[in-house]
Structure 1
Amino acid sequence: MSQYVLYFNDIDKSSLSRVGGKGANLDELCHVPGIAVPAGFCVTTRAYLDFVNTSKEFAALLESLELIDIESLEELKSAGERMRSHLENLDIPECIQQEISRAWRKTGSQYAYAIRSSATAEDLPGASFAGQQDTFLNIKGEDNILDRVRKCWASLFTDRAIAYRRKNGFAHDKVLFSVVVQRMVFPEVSGIMFTADPVTGNRRIVSIDASYGLGEALVSGIVSADLYQVKADKLLKKQIASKEIGIFAIPEGGTVKLKITEERQTSQALPDEGAVRLARMGRNIEEHFGSPQDIEWCLADNEIFIVQSRPITTLYPIPAVSDDKLHLFVSFGHVQMMTEAIKPLGISVLRTFLPLGKSSPRAESDLLVEAGGRLYTDAVTRLIEYPFLRKRLPEILLNVDEMIGRAVQDFIEREEFQTTDQPVKKLEFALVVKALPTAFAVLGNILFRNHDQVIAQLNLFIDKQVKKNRKKLQEVSGPDRIAQIQEILSTLLSMIFARIAQYFPAAIGTYKLIESLSKKWLGDAAELGSISKSPPGNVTTEMGLALGDVADAARNHPAVIEYLMQAADDTFWEGLRSVPGGEDVLPVFLNFFKQYGMRGTGEIDLTRPRWREAPTQLVPAILSHIKGVRPGRHRLDFQAGKEEAELAAGRLLERLRQKPMGFIKARIMRRLIKVHRSLIGIREHPKYFIVQNFDIIKQAILQEADTLVSGGILEHPDDIFWFSLQEIKEIIETRRVDRDVITMRKEKFQHDRQLTPPRAITSEGEIITAKPGAHVPPGALAGSPVSAGMVEGRARVILKLEEAKMDKGDILVAPYTDPAWTPLFPLAAGLVTEVGGLMTHGAVVAREYGIPAVVGVDDATRKILDGQKVRVDGTQGYVEILTKEPVLYKHD
């Protein structure tokens, strides 16, 4: 077999390293029944290597690419031109020329050819590299073929290809290059076919673009195309474009751009039956490759030819299902304010933690499924089988995340859902009876019960239970400890739910009643924004105040401040002790970390670092507090919020007294306000309880990991994060581990973390994106109004808490906020997040601090530039960008 040329029929899947992704895929296409592929051959990567190795300068030129600034267009352009010019003027070795010429004659010297790149990192499931190298069409003659092969090799160093590899972490010397030489087809019509809708992700819809002439015009984006969408052999959609130009082959070789005759411009390029036939072929190709495909096709003399197929790399993975029923999956991460990818242990812990949908307490719940490194719940599919819940579930979800609520409503209202034979279930009487005591308790809490000791008792319970669970884990080791962890996890949610089930609904219900009755009796809810300020007992607010105390302790010690600016996690405490003033502030620091060190950003993921493990995460917040807030101001502001809430309540009650039956209305309202302010503080207690338990569980797992490292089973304690709880148990029992699994899962995690997780996705892969409900001014960004008021200020776009720098009065713009972000709220004049709802963390804390907030603003951290002046309307639910250019910060 030749080392420089391989014919399509000689290639198999094992040839990837020799012919690249495109070449290997073309061979696979030749094995799909009923698919016509124009003949051709691949010039192998061995030929490319032997070609470039004839150059003495190539290695040095390659190394120089790692030194250029890819953000500098001039540097990029100069480096690319230098590389391409060098290769285009390099002679192809005679032995390579001979083999290419021999293959050309065998395939047919009388034909014209298309010559395309096929890199070893191209057209793969994880990276397409589409459009990075040059393509040459309608090439005739031996010399021209050889010349275009050399130009194709040189195009490995186009400016866009160099930048793409650098940005995606592909080393220039690791990407090898093959060239596909394929017989040209001269089509009347050609185009691109996706076997999944590239916009919505729906895997059941085949989307076809079609236009006149060569498909290269479509690929390069210079012509319009008809759009055809086919599902289950039925044409769903047909959108005819005005096709003014096309690219056509000319007899002497090469291509030309021609104007389409006026009568054909708006005619249908592909007949309906042709679209259905093409879609059927696409499904066969998809089935052969085992994944959705991006396919280039052409129609000549009523025969369809496939000239390329590659995996679609932009689709979000679908959560797995075991039946053909249409399911709706909702993002667990959006509900929990943590949308980043989670490692396998973190996923396993959360699935074990959920007490429903399990075969045994130690098992993992089937109500949570992994997709793209995130967790999705199928619970919505099951809940909407109950007509009673089908009507009310979207309304409930609006309070969690407005966009999720609207997506669920959209799904329910769809024709395909309405016309499907949906199970109609009724609530079991026994379940209703079981829920009655809690319902009566909620009612009693609203109407007459005293709540002065509720939060104190809850704090006592949490402290006692955490100590109890810590003791349980200290008394066992090895597989028994993992089993104990599984047992503890399975009880946490039901345990804390039993404690707050009668209180939290009362806190939310009274807030809603205050709003609705104010509007009914007074015509507005003007005082609502102040009623929730500075309530007692919120553990997250107390944490923010405690961090303010830490900042106040450090602010009078310049050496401590200077140390914090360059502190490292592994020497944080030793270094603090060694600087002047360090011993004075140390007790305040230690007290804070003793109480709150188990917290951290994205804390529902057990594998994420806690503050006690990485204390420098808090340094930016401490320094911003020192810079932006006067000493003691954070506690004065909290007290002022409490007084403002009391004044707002007084104004509300006085207005009610002026109305008919005002005495009774004021008395009802006074009770609602008291209940709301007494109980809303427990909003953060469940996560506070759960995170403390997660922390002691993590410590126990890492102790087991240390033992495995000592025994040579694992290389590093953190390697334990790449396994589920059950897998860890088996590793401890067998004293064996497959390190290839770690490598594979690390690679998957790196891929997954680049994905953007949707809020809602169907089992067909369709991402449901509902529009927010707010009516917004032109150009404004819509979201959910969760904390009333309007404010203008400079946007501070913060993606990671550990990188946070804020000045007093800035508008905090973030992907999400969880309790770890609370220290920034005393500085913020307003809040904008991409995720959230009325009762999520950021919304509750924003109301407590009395700052306007809009949540659920899609792509806020990309659409708003750091430093731009913005207006946040937390009453109507939108954000306006007031200046195009960013304003510099004091920190900058």
Structure 2
Amino acid sequence: MNPYVLHFNEIDSTRLPDVGGKGANLGEMSKAGFPVPRGFCVTTSAYRDFIAASHEMDELLDLLDRLQPDQLDEISKLGQRVRDHLLSITIPETIKSAIIEGWQKSGEDREYAVRSSATAEDLPTASFAGQQETYLNVKGADQLLQAVRKCWASLFTDRSIVYRAQNGFDHRSVFLSVVVQQMVFPEVSGIMFTADPVTGNRRIVSIDASFGLGEALVSGIVSADLYQVKAGGIIKKQIAKKEIAIYARPEGGTDKVKLTGDQRTTPSLSNEQAVRLAGMGRSIEEHFGSPQDIEWCLADSEIFILQSRPITTLYPVPPVTDDKIHLFLSFGHVQMMTEVIKPLGISVLRTFLPLGKSSPLGESDLLVEAGGRLYSDAITRLLEYPQLRKRLPEILLNLDELFSRAVRDFMDREEFRTAGRPNRRIKFSLVRKAFPTALAILKNILYRENDQAIDMMNRFITEKVGENRKLLQEVSGPERITRIQEMLNSILTMTIVKVAQYLPTALITYKLIENLSRKWLGDTAELGGISKSPPGNVTTEMGLALGDVADEVRNHPAVIEYLEHANDETFLEDLKTVPGGKDVLPAFLNFFNRYGMRGTGEIDLTRPRWREVPTQLVPAILSHIKGVRPGQHRLDFLAGKKEAELAAGRLLDRLREKPLGFFKARIMRRLIKVHRSLIGIREHPKYFIILNFDLIKQVILQEAAELAMDGILKHPEDVFWLSLREIKEVLESRRLDRDLITSRKEKFQRDEKLTPPRAITSEGEIITAKPGAHVPPGALAGSPVSAGKAEGRARVILKLEEAKMDKGDILVAPYTDPAWTPLFPLAAGLVTEVGGLMTHGAVVAREYGIPAVVGLDNATRKIRDGQKIRVDGTQGFVEIMEQDA
């Protein structure tokens, strides 16, 4: 077997290091019997021996390694230098002879397509599509050798260098093979995706087709006819006006030909041909086991496959166990944490959900992992109840308007209406169980004094967390994991029982105040003021407490300077050595004692907490010192409370002037009182949950530390890559397959690059319902959650630990969870990519009286840091006032 040339019939997936992704796939398909034109690959050994002849490549690769992806000018200059150098090297005679021999065996009288095939190309995780060059209609030995040399040099085009740098591929670790394949001179050619590349639907085959060679489509110089096939039938057919085609020249090379007359609008494929193509696409997909991007052509009505690669841009489909269509909603969007979660974090959350389990210690099948995130299948099951179908979209408005609209879109689809799903009825026993809670809510609204509810919740949290701490410290080893599973299974139920009559009361009274104001007065002008500074919100209290820490720090310049360079591991110890450090130390200790278990993305148990990475708080503290006067945060809170009283007074005065005004004012006064006394409890459930998660994390790390001491784990934090069940098994067996951790770390890195959709079906289709707001031309639409308007400088913050804000800036973020609360006193307005009426950012924005728009897709990309923007939190849109920051 020639080390420099392998023919397609000698190649399968095991030869990827020798022939690259494209070559391996062609060999696989050829061996499997698919209609692939004959050809061979010039192996990576040839490329390596070719560049080994150079005395400069090592130095040039060293220079490339130092460049960052955004250094485009430097990349362009150095890339050109590398390409020129490679084109100047003589091909060694042994390599040249092997190529000529392979060409003669394949057919020296034929024309060839010569394509690059990199070893990091056409993989499930990175396609490298279009990064290297292709040469068509190559004739004769001289043209072939020159095309091979150009392919080798194309490994260092600007786009290839940038792509490798962005995707973490070492320039020295990617090698190039060259595919030499007999040309087919087709009437029609194109690209076929075995999943819809726009929506992600895995049941749809999408075909682009045009006349002539496929290069016209690949290079984007011609509009294509579009055919979509599902279940063996055409579901969409869109015929383009085709102005240009590319055809082969007799002497070699290609020409662009202008199409004329009816040919420009003639369908390039018949329906039968499109369906036949789709069937072959499905067969290729089945062979490779994943959706494919396939180049094909049609000559004399015969289909030829020119290459196939995995589609790497699709979001993974959440798994299902039947063939019915399901709708999955993102758990991360509900919880304001859309980032990838480690396996232990996923396991904890699935164990935490008490429903959909085969055993109390197991993990719920209502939450499934896809792309390192969790998706809920609960909505599919709820839609089986006719009584809930009409109400679910309205209920979901409280979480996220786009959730609501996605569910409406899903229910309107024919495949949902004709799915033959069961029409379940809510059992009377469930209604009977819910009746006492519903009655308690009614009593709370009508006549109960609710002032003690928050104090009661605080006592419950303190007592229960103490009990759980004792339970976890009494045992060790596998039994400790069992207790964790038992505890997780009960936390949510216990929390719901405690707040079931209070939190719904607060939400219902808010909606009643809004609806009755609109009905009786024709507007909700006072609604925003009424929501300001309610008592008892633990998250608001946390923000105020951090403001107190900032006020302690502001009087000590040496401490401020220390914070700018502090180290997490020795944060408190080093603070003691700084002038003034001992004076502010009690403030930090008090804050960490109460809130140290919090942090960004805190629903993921594996994420660092403020106690572990205190420097995360430094930007908020320094911004507070810079932007807020001493004590102003406390005064602002009191001012908000006073404004709420004034707003309530104005609302009641206006109502008294209406018919039956005394009666209406009396009802409204009661609703306001109940709402303000109970809305503060909204953050307590999560506070309680995170306290328990913190306990669990600490004891798991204690067990992991012992495993690391025994050499079973390399580091204690490696336990984050295991599920609770797996940790228990390791503790019992004292054995671990470390390759499992390695593979999960690699998957995590791939999943980090994915953008999780809000809603996705079991067919893989991403539902992207648009916001409902009517917006001015050019404005960005979201959901209005806190009334008012604000203008200011956009401060786009992707990570809390990188936050730098001045008073009056408008905070633009992917999401906000409780950890972001310290920034709210500085913000004049809020814009987030996820959220709803009752999610954290919305509630806190109303408490601070700042306008807020949430659910604005890609807000952090559409709005640039430093731009002047206007936020309309009443109607739900954002206007960019200055296009250039």
Fold conserved (TM > 0.5)? Answer: yes
Preserved CA contact (<8 Å) 2:246 2:256: yes
Q: Could you tell me which amino acid in structure 2 is paired with residue 41 of structure 1?
A: F
The answer to whether the aligner puts 1:772 opposite 2:771 as a matched pair is: yes
The residue that corresponds to 1:15 in the other structure is: 15
* 1:49-448 paired onto structure 2 within 5 Å: 49-448=48-447
CA distance, structure 2, for counterparts of residue 54 and residue 812 of structure 1: 56
Q: Cα distance, 1:108 vs. partner?
A: 0.4
Preserved CA contact (<8 Å) 1:508 1:676: yes
Q: Cα distance, 1:12 vs. partner?
A: 1.5
Preserved CA contact (<8 Å) 2:794 2:810: yes
Q: Could you tell me which amino acid in structure 2 is paired with residue 329 of structure 1?
A: F
CA distance, structure 1, for counterparts of residue 262 and residue 817 of structure 2: 60
The residue that corresponds to 1:498 in the other structure is: 497
Q: Could you tell me which amino acid in structure 2 is paired with residue 64 of structure 1?
A: L
SS of residue in 1 equivalent to 2:308: strand
Q: Could you tell me which amino acid in structure 2 is paired with residue 687 of structure 1?
A: K
Q: Could you tell me which amino acid in structure 1 is paired with residue 461 of structure 2?
A: I
Give a deviation string over 1:383-422, Cα, whole Å, max 9, x none. Answer: 0000010110111001101101110111011122112212
Q: Cα distance, 1:68 vs. partner?
A: 3.2
Preserved CA contact (<8 Å) 2:12 2:31: no
The residue that corresponds to 2:726 in the other structure is: 727
Give a deviation string over 1:821-868, Cα, whole Å, max 9, x none. Answer: 000000000000000000000000000000000000000000000000
Q: Cα distance, 1:347 vs. partner?
A: 0.1
Preserved CA contact (<8 Å) 1:810 1:828: yes
Preserved CA contact (<8 Å) 2:325 2:763: yes
Give a deviation string over 1:130-158, Cα, whole Å, max 9, x none. Answer: 11111100000011111111110011000
Give a deviation string over 1:106-150, Cα, whole Å, max 9, x none. Answer: 100000000001111000000000111111000000111111111
CA distance, structure 2, for counterparts of residue 324 and residue 667 of structure 1: 56
CA distance, structure 1, for counterparts of residue 56 and residue 452 of structure 2: 79
Q: Could you tell me which amino acid in structure 1 is paired with residue 679 of structure 2?
A: I
SS of residue in 1 equivalent to 2:756: coil
The residue that corresponds to 1:26 in the other structure is: 26
Preserved CA contact (<8 Å) 2:202 2:765: yes
SS of residue in 1 equivalent to 2:484: helix
Q: Cα distance, 1:70 vs. partner?
A: 3.9
SS of residue in 2 equivalent to 1:76: helix
Q: Cα distance, 1:217 vs. partner?
A: 1.1
Preserved CA contact (<8 Å) 1:69 1:75: no
SS of residue in 2 equivalent to 1:871: strand
CA distance, structure 2, for counterparts of residue 67 and residue 471 of structure 1: 53
Q: Cα distance, 1:67 vs. partner?
A: 2.3
Q: Cα distance, 1:72 vs. partner?
A: 3.4
Give a deviation string over 1:631-662, Cα, whole Å, max 9, x none. Answer: 00000000000000000000101111111111
The residue that corresponds to 2:580 in the other structure is: 581
SS of residue in 1 equivalent to 2:525: coil
Q: Cα distance, 1:263 vs. partner?
A: 1.4
CA distance, structure 2, for counterparts of residue 143 and residue 596 of structure 1: 73
CA distance, structure 2, for counterparts of residue 358 and residue 416 of structure 1: 28
Preserved CA contact (<8 Å) 2:68 2:165: no
Q: Cα distance, 1:69 vs. partner?
A: 4.6
Give a deviation string over 1:598-628, Cα, whole Å, max 9, x none. Answer: 0000000000000000000000000000000
Preserved CA contact (<8 Å) 1:334 1:835: yes
The residue that corresponds to 1:890 in the other structure is: none
The residue that corresponds to 1:661 in the other structure is: 660
SS of residue in 2 equivalent to 1:825: helix
Q: Cα distance, 1:571 vs. partner?
A: 1.1
SS of residue in 2 equivalent to 1:464: helix
Runs of 4+ in 1 over 2 A off after TM superposition: 67-74
* 1:655-804 paired onto structure 2 within 5 Å: 655-804=654-803
Consecutive unaligned residues of structure 1, counting only runs of 5 or more, are 887-892
The residue that corresponds to 1:609 in the other structure is: 608
SS of residue in 2 equivalent to 1:670: helix
CA distance, structure 1, for counterparts of residue 372 and residue 208 of structure 2: 32
The answer to whether the aligner puts 1:624 opposite 2:612 as a matched pair is: no
SS of residue in 1 equivalent to 2:294: strand
Q: Cα distance, 1:60 vs. partner?
A: 1.0
Q: Could you tell me which amino acid in structure 2 is paired with residue 819 of structure 1?
A: P
Mean Cα deviation higher: 331-340 or 56-65: 56-65
CA distance, structure 1, for counterparts of residue 802 and residue 397 of structure 2: 31
SS of residue in 1 equivalent to 2:564: helix
The residue that corresponds to 1:889 in the other structure is: none
CA distance, structure 2, for counterparts of residue 541 and residue 786 of structure 1: 18
Q: Could you tell me which amino acid in structure 2 is paired with residue 294 of structure 1?
A: D
CA distance, structure 2, for counterparts of residue 822 and residue 477 of structure 1: 36
Preserved CA contact (<8 Å) 1:226 1:268: yes
Preserved CA contact (<8 Å) 1:795 1:868: yes
SS of residue in 2 equivalent to 1:880: strand
Give a deviation string over 1:515-534, Cα, whole Å, max 9, x none. Answer: 11011111111100111100
Preserved CA contact (<8 Å) 2:317 2:764: yes
Preserved CA contact (<8 Å) 1:352 1:363: yes
SS of residue in 2 equivalent to 1:854: strand
Preserved CA contact (<8 Å) 1:519 1:525: yes
CA distance, structure 1, for counterparts of residue 161 and residue 138 of structure 2: 26
Consecutive unaligned residues of structure 2, counting only runs of 5 or more, are none
Give a deviation string over 1:779-836, Cα, whole Å, max 9, x none. Answer: 1110000000001000000000000000000000000000000000000000000000
SS of residue in 2 equivalent to 1:566: coil
Paired residues in the alignment total 885
Q: Could you tell me which amino acid in structure 1 is paired with residue 561 of structure 2?
A: E
Q: Could you tell me which amino acid in structure 2 is paired with residue 24 of structure 1?
A: A
SS of residue in 2 equivalent to 1:674: helix
The residue that corresponds to 2:5 in the other structure is: 5
CA distance, structure 2, for counterparts of residue 360 and residue 151 of structure 1: 62
Preserved CA contact (<8 Å) 2:353 2:492: yes
SS of residue in 2 equivalent to 1:570: coil
Give a deviation string over 1:180-223, Cα, whole Å, max 9, x none. Answer: 00000001100000000000000000000001111011111111
**TM-score w.r.t. structure 1 length?**
0.99
Preserved CA contact (<8 Å) 1:32 1:285: no
CA distance, structure 1, for counterparts of residue 71 and residue 556 of structure 2: 43
The residue that corresponds to 2:555 in the other structure is: 556
SS of residue in 1 equivalent to 2:569: helix
Preserved CA contact (<8 Å) 1:864 1:881: yes
CA distance, structure 2, for counterparts of residue 801 and residue 92 of structure 1: 54
CA distance, structure 2, for counterparts of residue 652 and residue 410 of structure 1: 38
CA distance, structure 1, for counterparts of residue 451 and residue 41 of structure 2: 79
CA distance, structure 2, for counterparts of residue 380 and residue 387 of structure 1: 13
Q: Could you tell me which amino acid in structure 2 is paired with residue 79 of structure 1?
A: L
CA distance, structure 2, for counterparts of residue 55 and residue 626 of structure 1: 59
Give a deviation string over 1:400-453, Cα, whole Å, max 9, x none. Answer: 011011101110111221122121001111111111111111111111111111
CA distance, structure 1, for counterparts of residue 16 and residue 644 of structure 2: 68
CA distance, structure 2, for counterparts of residue 389 and residue 684 of structure 1: 27
Preserved CA contact (<8 Å) 1:128 1:310: yes
CA distance, structure 2, for counterparts of residue 320 and residue 847 of structure 1: 39
SS of residue in 2 equivalent to 1:826: helix
Q: Could you tell me which amino acid in structure 2 is paired with residue 669 of structure 1?
A: M
Q: Cα distance, 1:64 vs. partner?
A: 1.0
